[in-house]
Amino acid sequence: MSDDYLPARKLLATDQVDAFECGQAALNQFLQRYALVNQKANSAQTYVCCQGDVVVGFYSLAVGSVDPEGAPSRVMKGLARHPVPVMILARLAVDKEHQRKGLGQALLKDALLRTAQAADIAGIRCLLVHAKDDAARQWYESWEFEPSPTDPYHLFLMLKDLKGMLI
C-alpha cells in the first residue's frame, strides 16, 4: 500500500468526508451523515484512513450478539445456547480513486487488530459482517469468514482464526 495514507484512526469532526465516493450510496451517506453522530452516541466507532484530512477509506465497529440459530455450528461448539457475543464490522468502504490498492485489506486488518484488543477486555466470540452484495460476500469469504446457516450474507470469523491472521 502506498499513496501516503495515514494510519487508521477514529473519525474526527474536522475530517473531510463530503467528496467520499465508494460506488455505494448507502455507504457514502453513512460516512457523510451518520458516522460521527453514531460515534458521539457511542453506538458505533468509525475509523478512517486519510490523505491529509481527506477520508479515503473507513470502517465502523459495534458490539452485538447473535442468536445461536444464526451462528455457524463451529461458532456454537462448546457454548451454551445463549446469544453469542460478537464484534460487528458494520461498514467498510474505500473511495473509488483508492480502490484496488490494498487499502480495503489494510482497513480490514486494522479492524481485526482492534477486535482482538477488545476481546482481551470483554467477551467476543467472533467478528460478524453483513455483506451488502455477492462481491462483498466473496471478498470476506476469501478472508475465511463463514456464512450463517440462516443468511449467506451474514459472515463470521472466529476470534481464534482472527488472531491467527495477526501473527
Domain membership flag for residue 70: yes
Cell of 134: 455477492
How do residues 77-136 score in pLDDT, each as one tens digit? 888 889 999 999 999 999 999 999 999 999 999 999 999 999 999 999 999 999 999 999
Q: Which residues are catalytic?
A: 140
Residue 116 placed within a domain = yes
Give Cβ neighbours of residue 48 (< 8 Å, ≥ 6 apart): 8, 9, 10, 11, 15, 55, 57, 58
Domain that holds residue 132: 9-165
How many domains, the chain?
A: 1
Q: What is the pTM of this model?
A: 0.93
34: CATH:
3.40.630.30
